[in-house]
Amino acid sequence: MDTLLDLISFPADLRKLTREQLAQVANELREFLLFSIARTGGHLASNLGVVELTLALHYVFDTPEDRIVWDVGHQSYPHKVITGRREQMSGLRKRGGISGFPRRDESPYDTFGTAHSSTSISAALGMAHAARLQKKQRHCIAVIGDGALSAGLAYEAMNNATLDPDMRLLVILNDNDMSISPSVGALKQHLANVLGGDSAALFGALGLAYSGPIDGHDLAALIPALLRLRNCRGVQLLHVVTRKGCGFPHAEADPVGYHAPARFCPRNGILPAAAGKLTYTQVFSEWLCDEAERDPRVVGITPAMREGSGLVAFQQRFPDRYFDVGIAEQHALTFAAGLAAEGMRPVVAIYSTFLQRGYDQLIHDVAIQQLPVTFAIDRAGVVGADGATHMGMFDIAYLRCIPHLVVMCPADENECRQMLHTALEHAGPAAVRYPRGSGPGVLPLRQMTALQLGKARVCRIGRRIAILAFGPMLAPALEAGVRLDATVVNMRFVKPLDVELLRRMAQTHELLVTLEEGCVAGGAGSACLESLSATGPGVKTLLLGFPDNFVEHGEPAELLAAYGLDAAGIESAIAGLGMTLGESTAAGRESYTDESDSVLSENTCIYRGERS
């Protein structure tokens, strides 16, 4: 039996319905989303919370001629379903499938690509000015969550938006008391006061004409409000109150847990995960609590990523030393610098892709002053389903050029723990980058020992070919190294590099292969080439990593294989150079394995199956 949702391919079909029929469409759309996301995984709670708002916006406004910008974009699934992509939802966030965020190259209804927060008002303002200059009577709508209003960019845009009284810009404040974690800060309290009956003085002071608050699940209230605002000039703000997870009791009760679940059962909800290997995030979480127990100067900072970055236990045990600064990466870094300037030991737990937003502060406020701030950089490298906006492809390249900054890449869980300790003990800024998910299964030692800065370790002695692996790339490097009889080095440090060992590798091997889970341009391999050009002999090199394009969504193992960063890909790339195994050259294995060589004796740690 056909449903009303079956009749809707695009918003023009939606506008043929009566207002009374929209309520039925909302119920059908919510049910479709629940069962679709249960099969694929993806952002659930945020999308269930904007079903009625999405329908009302497309019902009232002439999309795509009128522009809607979704902020942060993980609330755009209902929008995708009614803009021609319902059948494609089965491939959501899979390689070759549609994105979990708006994409301009995916649909004309996706007017602006989003995935990081707080950009919508700036983008919609730019669109509104473009319409004015082009003499077009177009409405531009920014849909921004209350959590996203904690970022300075939103206020910069609002401060600039009211200069033109004829501006056709509508800001929808989707107030659900949440970002990914519960919202924090003075704005949260201000919105609570507004809901309690106080006037919206903040928005009025910024020059926005405030309306609301209204129930974001009541189409009978939403549609008349939007129709009225459609005819208003100037910058309008409509305060809409919604519930994350609306219509699915499990998600309403636990919007954090149902923010972006993997596949689950719609009837029973998310089942407890089976015990498995520690994730790198769990290693960080335990390490931070251990350090805080030992040293009262240690504080933890997160820009609104308490759960994702592994700070829940720290908050519970050390609430006075836990700081969630909201979606404000720039503030997080300068705040950490202020703490460090007064003798504290701040640890900033942040995703690689989000650290990009605080780059200026990293340079000016932390590095120039050589302040001891530790950066625990999660989600470095391939992250999978969230796609190009969330991949940690660039941190090696953008960090290694900053003076005074130490950059480390652990190959396993224990090395991650020891590197974090090394960073905390270091007298200046230091960063440890680690991937999403679990490692090879090496149990972290309770005892923590600071590593000697800039010292790599030889993990396998081979001949002719030396594979220089950074971080989690050590595992495929060892696998390929066995088949190729190659030397394999766990480089560990991007900055400072082990220049002496690097030079020795170049002297004793015919080919150096650098291997990193990041962009090749400006990355760790480039650092090796720069060092060799200044201090070492000429040697044939092969730099393996991600090429000069953005990596799209897909399963991490699938993406690594597609880009030749698994063991088979490494072997294939080396074979492509015409390298064949044979007898060692004069500068080969015999000279390298001289045990009197101090470089070798200090750095050799040959793995013989210890890795589980």
The type of residue at 15 is R
- Please confirm, yes or no, whether 495 is among the known catalytic residues: no
d(C-alpha 571, C-alpha 565), whole Å: 10
168 to 66, 161, 227, 230, 232: CA distances (angstroms): 10, 10, 13, 8, 8
Tell me which of 67, 244, 306, 433 is the catalytic residue: 244
Q: Do the beta carbons of residue 299 and residue 332 sit within 8 Å?
A: no
- Please confirm, yes or no, whether 321 is among the known catalytic residues: no
> Which residue's entry shows tokens 């949440």?
178
Nearest-5° Cα angle at 143, 140 to 144: 135
Stated as kind and residue range, the H or E segment containing 159 is helix 152-161
DSSP one-letter string for 161-197: HTT-TT-EEEEEEEE-SBSSSBP-SHHHHHHHHHHTT
Stated as kind and residue range, the H or E segment containing 502 is helix 499-508
Nearest-5° Cα angle at 357, 351 to 362: 90
One-letter-per-residue 3-state SS of 280-298: HHHHHHHHHHHHHHHCCCE
Q: Which value, to the nearest 10 degrees, does the dihedral of the CA atoms of residues 89, 91, 94, 96 take?
A: -120
- Please confirm, yes or no, whether 357 is among the known catalytic residues: yes
Question: Any bridge partners for residue 381, and if so which?
Answer: 392
d(C-alpha 322, C-alpha 341), whole Å: 18
Q: Which value, to the nearest 10 degrees, does the dihedral of the CA atoms of residues 224, 225, 228, 231 take?
A: -120
Tell me which of 67, 188, 321, 357 is the catalytic residue: 357
Sign of CA dihedral 494, 350, 388, 490: positive
Question: Any bridge partners for residue 41, and if so which?
Answer: none
d(C-alpha 390, C-alpha 305), whole Å: 14
Stated as kind and residue range, the H or E segment containing 408 is strand 406-408
Question: Any bridge partners for residue 70, and if so which?
Answer: 143
CA atoms lying within 13 Å on the CB side of residue 445: 8
DSSP one-letter string for 252-278: HH-TTTTSS--S-BTTTBPPPPPP-SP
Whose CA is closest to 247, among 449, 34, 417, 429? 34
Tell me which of 329, 413, 415, 517 is the catalytic residue: 329
Phi-psi region of 297 (alpha: psi -120 to 50; beta: other; left: phi over 0): alpha
Q: Do the beta carbons of residue 484 and residue 571 sit within 8 Å?
A: yes
Whose CA is closest to 86, among 65, 64, 109? 109
Whose CA is closest to 22, among 9, 5, 1? 5
d(C-alpha 381, C-alpha 469), whole Å: 14
265 to 29, 226, 243, 362: CA distances (angstroms): 18, 36, 21, 43
Q: What are the catalytic residues?
A: 244, 329, 357
